[in-house]
Amino acid sequence: MSIMRPWEMHDTVVIGAGVIGASIGYHLAARGAAVTVVDAGLPASGATRHSFAWISSTGGADGPAFGLRDLSVQDWRRLGEEIPGLGLVWSGALTWGEEFGRAGAIEPPIDVEPRLADLPSSARFSPDEGWIDPVRASERLIEAARHRGAQIRLGAPVLRLIRGEVAGVIGVDLGNVVLGATNVIVAAGTGSAALCSSVGVSLPLPAAPAVMVRLWAEPGLIGHIVANDEFEARQSPDGTILMPRGYAGEDSTESLLATGETARRLLIDSFEGADDVRLLSAEVGWRPMTSDGEPAVGATRIPGLHVAVAHPGVCLAATIGRLVADELTTPVAAPELARFRPTRFDGRLRAPQASTV
């Protein structure tokens, strides 16, 4: 039985106002494109709000998004100049250990983190790296997109994509209304797989949870991003410390608080005079990570349907926003995205019949 609902005509619809959808919406609006950003909740209500938000250009050739990551610092710096109040902090990052594969004596051998209990004999300081407040950045990107003419619809879950009988994807179904669209960009984080499968496009996103522990200490305990095989940590000017932890099956408030307490003790042991560190919260964040760990960005095999899902998504958001907007507003495919096309997952789902609205 077909149900007739009102149609509104839009041009490009971006699903998701996390940091990636917000960046795409901003970059499209800044190029004068007609764009509508739709989110089930508020900006940054998905993985983005739990992010450590490290902007790092040096993931290594075997790390995810090689070739895109090295563009991230310059793209975030550009955005910082275009949009006041984005909340970028170019603190620099001190890293050591096997996981970071960046050993090499600190050059020059200065005491960059004076309160570290044990300064490693071999480490690397990367002065050009930094972090953002990911919620504030997403909100500012959405505001800036709106200022440049984008339509923003929050609290509007997309139930499914609409596929025409002849053409490809022709709109998105909000339940009470259908937004007809020439292009639909799915940037819905972990919600992207279900939306794509509603038109037969496979986007494998196995569960990839992580725990974000928030602590507080007197400001000035940690000066930079500090990362090694045991922990990653950074401190905001208001004293808040973020420490992401691996997920170990935490399924209750008690188990999350236990993880938070372990992180607190680790921090106290790792820094001098850190006895006042308090646990604020510990929450699970669900990272949108494809089955091969690489971003999925660009056109799908269905005309009109594009995808933008990536990890590490905060780091890559400024670059992905720029490249996706370039591809939609010019006839040129971005060579930087060639390795990351979502079509590499094709053939894993059967296409459903065209849907009647």
Ligand X SMILES: Cc1cc2nc3c(=O)[nH]c(=O)nc-3n(C[C@H](O)[C@H](O)[C@H](O)COP(=O)(O)OP(=O)(O)OC[C@H]3O[C@@H](n4cnc5c(N)ncnc54)[C@H](O)[C@@H]3O)c2cc1C
> Which residues make up the interface to ligand X (CB under 6 A)?
15-21, 38-41, 45-48, 50-54, 157-158, 187-189, 191, 195, 210, 212, 244, 285, 287-288, 309, 311-315
d(CA 156, CA 178): 11
Other CB atoms closer than 10 Å to residue 97's CB: what's the count? Answer: 16
Q: Where are the alpha helices (H) located in 100-171, listed in sequence order?
A: 134-147
Output the smallest distance, CB 293 to ligand X, in A: 12
Output the smallest distance, CB 107 to ligand X, in A: 24
Under the phi-then-psi rule, with left for phi > 0, alpha for psi from -120 to 50, and beta for the rest, what region is 251?
Answer: alpha
**Of 119 and 355, CB closest to ligand X:** 355
Output the smallest distance, CB 220 to ligand X, in A: 22
**Of 186 and 277, CB closest to ligand X:** 186
Q: Which residue has the tokens 């996390």?
A: 18
Q: Please, are residues 117 and 270 in contact by the beta-carbon 8 Å criterion?
A: yes
Q: Please, are residues 319 and 325 in contact by the beta-carbon 8 Å criterion?
A: no
Other CB atoms closer than 10 Å to residue 309's CB: what's the count? Answer: 27
Output the smallest distance, CB 261 to ligand X, in A: 17
Output the smallest distance, CB 190 to ligand X, in A: 6
**Of 39 and 113, CB closest to ligand X:** 39
**Of 284 and 349, CB closest to ligand X:** 284
Sign of the alpha-carbon dihedral angle for 323, 324, 325, 329 = positive
**Of 20 and 299, CB closest to ligand X:** 20
